Structure 1
Amino acid sequence: MTEKEKMLAGLMYKPSDPELEAARYRARMLFQKANALTEESKAERDTLFNQLIDAEDNLRIEPPFQCDYGFNIKAGKNFFMNYGCCILDVAQVSIGDNVMFAPNVQLYSATHPIEANSRNSGKELGKPISIGNNVWVGGNSTICPGVTLGDNVVVGAGSVVTKSFPDDVVIAGNPAKIIKTINNSKS
């Protein structure tokens, strides 16, 4: 297997592999160019961001935005990211319809071994992240590797989400926990 194939399979891989370095460079050039464009060049900026995120329809990003590769980020309809968001997409990052990220939201699918010898090998791995439909993630929140959030979840500002949560809940804290259940039949 190539190092990219290992990465996509969730296996330990070498991020220093030339193919992966080139893919990160490509993403960096795209987001740096997009982030530098003014409002007068919004159409060009949107085109560049759409090369990084495979979105169904109506992708809206307020720069700056950063990611590792871009090719592992899939979004549904009406995805909005506010200023300063970052997605480390060494594993698949799936985002549903009608999702909103407040400023400085961070999604990290990248992780490292906890054993020092393995970690010092220079290899890493990734665990996918899945965000359901109608999710709102509050500012300065971090979604950790391997997390799945169900539909209609609200993540309180400043939360660190280290585990998965079901539909229709408000979560907050470090680590995030369920604060309340949402009755979405009322809306």
Structure 2
Amino acid sequence: MASSNTAAGSADPFLAKIPSTPDELAENKRRMAAGELYFAFTPDLVADRRRCAQASHVFNQARRDAPRRELVRLFKDVIRDETPLPPPAATEEEDEALFGDAPWVELPLRADYGFNIRLGNGVYVNANSTWIDTSPITVGARTLIGPNCSFYSGGHPLDGKVRNGIQGPEFGKPITIGEDCWLGGNVTVVPGVTIGAGSTVGGGSVVTKDVPPGVVVAGNPARIIRKLE
């Protein structure tokens, strides 16, 4: 995970105690959205994570042969997308076709909040994905994600006294993956990384820096090994 400026963090009076009043909790959520140091173990954020955990559990228990409509509905519950589904079609085949552009997410998955996961049309996510969506994690259309991939948008201060376990602050930085990318199995993406459109990340790679469009990267840390024409 990424680090944070601990000197600035330790001098911030807001970080002297875990927020508890309505105004403090509102400021805490603002800080979380802004990528500033905030507290994750406030009652409202714990409730958000529990909601996502329950929705993820229901999604992960779905039948392997469940209709696309059901799987799309269950995943929308995970990401807290309240957009209504289209009315059912006349036949099963026609109904399946209604979701031809919807993201296809294999189960199981694990997510922190869900509402910060944003998948474009035609995205495919293989099994055992992990989404630490402290900040938005955006995946562009038609991108393919292999099994066991992890996206960590959350980070912690390096100073252990500031970090202070679950009593201390953390922060987030958005992850952005462009359209038409391919991430092989067991790829890890850390906070603040952008992967450009059309790029490929080799299996087992750890992506710690931005990746330009149209390249192949691999390794730990991932490095460019080929430019695509």
Query: Same fold per TM (> 0.5)?
Result: yes
CA distance in 2, matches of 1:92, 1:40: 30
Offset, 1:73: 1.2
Identity of paired residues, percent? 40
**Greater relative contact order (Cα 8 A, min sep 6): structure 1 or 2?**
2
1:171 alignment partner in structure 2:
217
Select which of 151, 157, 160 maps to 1:113: 157
Q: Does 1:96 align with 2:121?
A: no
CA distance in 2, matches of 1:38, 1:31: 14
SS in 2 for 1:94: strand
Structure 2: 5+ residue runs without aligned partners?
1-25, 84-98
- Who wins on radius of gyration, i.e. which is larger? 2
Structure 1: 5+ residue runs without aligned partners?
none
2:49 alignment partner in structure 1:
24
1:47 alignment partner in structure 2:
73
Spell out, residue by residue over 1:68-120, the C-alpha distance to the aligned partner (whole angstroms, 9 max, x if none): 10111112111110010011100011111111110000000011011122111
The structure whose residues are more often helix, as a share, is 2
Contact 1:52 1:73 in 2 (8 A): no
Q: Which amino acid aligns with 2:110?
A: Q
- Cα RMSD between the aligned structures? 1.7
2:194 alignment partner in structure 1:
148
| TM-score calculated relative to the size of structure 1 | 0.93
CA distance in 1, matches of 2:47, 2:180: 34
Contact 1:35 1:45 in 2 (8 A): no
Aligned length: 183
Offset, 1:37: 1.3
Contact 2:48 2:113 in 1 (8 A): yes
Q: Which amino acid aligns with 1:2?
A: E
CA distance in 2, matches of 1:37, 1:48: 8
The structure whose residues are more often strand, as a share, is 1
Which 4+ runs in 1 deviate beyond 6 A? none
Q: Does 1:80 align with 2:106?
A: no
Contact 1:92 1:109 in 2 (8 A): yes
Q: Which amino acid aligns with 1:109?
A: S
